[in-house]
Amino acid sequence: MMLCEECGLKQAEVMITTVVNGESTTRHLCRDCLKKYQAGEMQAVLAAILAGMAQKQKSPDITCPRCGETYAQFQKSGMLGCAECYQAFRKELTPLITRVQGRAQHAGRRPAATEAEQELLNRREELRARMEAAVAEENFEEAALLRDQLRALTAEKEGQA
């Protein structure tokens, strides 16, 4: 049994081998230290990948119009200056993000809806449920009125967007 090389207290459960510029480094870590390692080392790993890519091909010196960050600065630090950098460096970032994350398009959770958006969603769901109940009861006049209210809410939402 091997102890974690980071904390020296817990049993090492994970072995990480990192190869940078042909040099291999292996570390034995517990799960807690692995989390710290992944969080802290991710920027270093990303910077190493970028440096390797920079050696293979010289990229044009693109500058973000909003913050002034250049692509060369990003390659050195591994950090973007602002959200608009993603658009400014899109051509160069897409292959990198695909290589690191497996895809370039975001597939995570959406931010929570604002209170007004959530209220509108709740109102639409309520109208939809009432309309379905009216159809089930064969009260088609009420169902038509509810349908029109639902369409009006949908139009209102699209007008805000």
Question: What pLDDT does residue 38 have?
Answer: 64
3-class SS letters over the chain: CCECCCCCCCECCEEEEEEECCEEEEEEECHHHHHHHHHHHHHHHHHHHHHHHHHHCCCCCCECCCCCCEHHHHHHHCCCCCCCHHHHCHHHHHHHHHHHHCCCCCCCCCCCCCHHHHHHHHHHHHHHHHHHHHHHCCCHHHHHHHHHHHHHHHHHHHHHC
Q: How far apart are CA 71 and CA 78, in angstroms?
A: 10
Q: Return the minimum-mean-pLDDT range out of 13-17, 61-65, 149-153.
A: 13-17
Question: What pLDDT does residue 135 have?
Answer: 92
Sorted by sequence, the CB contacts under 8 Å of residue 101 that are 6+ apart come out as none
Residue type, 142: E
Q: How far apart are CA 3 and CA 19, in angstroms?
A: 22
Q: How far apart are CA 121 and CA 114, in angstroms?
A: 11
Name the residue with higher pLDDT: 110 or 72. Answer: 72
Q: How far apart are CA 99 and CA 9, in angstroms?
A: 35
Tokens 């081998």 correspond to what residue?
A: 17
Q: How far apart are CA 51 and CA 66, in angstroms?
A: 24
Q: Which band of pLDDT confidence, cut at 50, 70 and 90, is reported for residue 133?
A: very high
Give me 118's structure tokens. Answer: 């959530």
Question: What pLDDT does residue 41 have?
Answer: 58
| pTM for the whole structure | 0.35
Question: What pLDDT does residue 26 have?
Answer: 82
- Does 45 score more than 80 pLDDT? no
- Does 49 score more than 70 pLDDT? no
